[in-house]
Structure 1
Amino acid sequence: MEKNWSIDETDRRILRLLQRDSGLSVQAVADTVGLSLSPCWRRIKRLREAGAITGQVTLVDPKAVGIALTALANVSLSDHQDATVAAFERAVESWPEVLEVHAVTGDRDYFLRIAVPDMEAYERFLSAKLLKEPCVASVTSRFSLRRVKYTTALPV
């Protein structure tokens, strides 16, 4: 974000709309927030340039594409040397099954959200990828029974 620029309420309304549907036309956003087309377009452009808007995506229903299992894995590394941490983070970045990776506090080092078709696919992922990493000391897995809430929208 630019140092001398802050997000105002109109920007927040624009961000809330675009988080719900990034495919909205600039005209639709402008109409909803009460701006004319050009000022709305300039605000959206400024939000992109400042890094408040980092991209646009299409959200896919996991079940519609055969991804029925969400695993939540806590990972401990064998040590915390810079090279070990870097190697682990490079590995998880390359695995498409891993949707999120969080470095965490507590008795584990990382929290991973992993999406796979079924338990057999998770077992293959675990044994062929995650546990093959020499820096991984242990993994504790939990499985989502059902998704109660899911959003990608930040509370702006």
Structure 2
Amino acid sequence: MTDLDTTDRQLLRELSRDATQSASALGRKLGLSQPATWRRIKRLRDAGVIRGQRLDLDAEKLGFGVTVFLGVKLATKGRVSLDDFERAVSAIPEVQTVEHILGLYDYRLRVVARDISDFERVLRRRLMTLPGVGDIEANVLLSEERRPGPIG
């Protein structure tokens, strides 16, 4: 674990709200100079605390009105490697996240589709034909509120 001081935590909170802010703007908010702010950001990146910046797209505005979370249980763990399943499922463009989990299911997937008919097509033609797939449980997302998560 990386030791973070109060200023590091404030910097991370600000970046989690808007990662496009300049070091100069962040420094003004935190009472730091632009070079000091930039050095802190670089140190946090080098330490792996900041792993990158991501573009947050609005799936609905891009024509993907349905998000479904799938619980996937592999039927034949001995015959099909987890790597084979992960490689195959990651190649499906509608699958946004692949999480290997512990519990009732082996994987949790986040899948987007244009509508329910499109999701059914993805499910039948792509997901149910993957190597080793056994049981699948679908949960349709009704609404979502994103939170940045704890920063200590």
Q: TM-score, normalised on structure 1?
A: 0.89
Asked whether the 8 Å contact 2:89–2:130 carries over to 1, the reply is no
Indicate the residue corresponding to 1:134 in structure 2.
131
Q: Taking every aligned residue pair, what percent have the same amino acid on both sides?
A: 37
Hey, what's the Cα distance between the residues in 2 that align with 1:146 and 1:80? Answer: 34
Q: Which moved more, 1:123-132 or 1:100-109?
A: 100-109
- What residue in structure 2 maps to residue 112 of structure 1? 109
Q: Structure 1 runs of 4+ off > 3 angstroms?
A: none
Of Structure 1 and Structure 2, which has the larger fraction of its residues in helix?
1
Q: Does 1:74 align with 2:46?
A: no
118, 126, 150: which one pairs with 2:146? 150
Give the superposition deviation at 1:104: 2.1
Q: What TM-score, normalized by structure 2, do the two folds share?
A: 0.91
Going from structure 1 to structure 2, the CA distance change for 1:33 and 1:81 (only over 3 Å counts) comes to: farther
Q: How many Å separate the matches in 1 of 2:27 and 2:89?
A: 40
The alpha carbon displacement at 1:105 in A equals 2.2
Post-superposition CA distance 1:45-85 (Å, at most 9, x none)? 11111111111122111221111101111101013338521
RMSD of the TM alignment (CA)?
1.7
Q: Which runs of 5+ in 1 are unaligned?
A: none
Unmatched 5+ stretches in structure 2: none
- Residues paired across the two proteins, number: 151
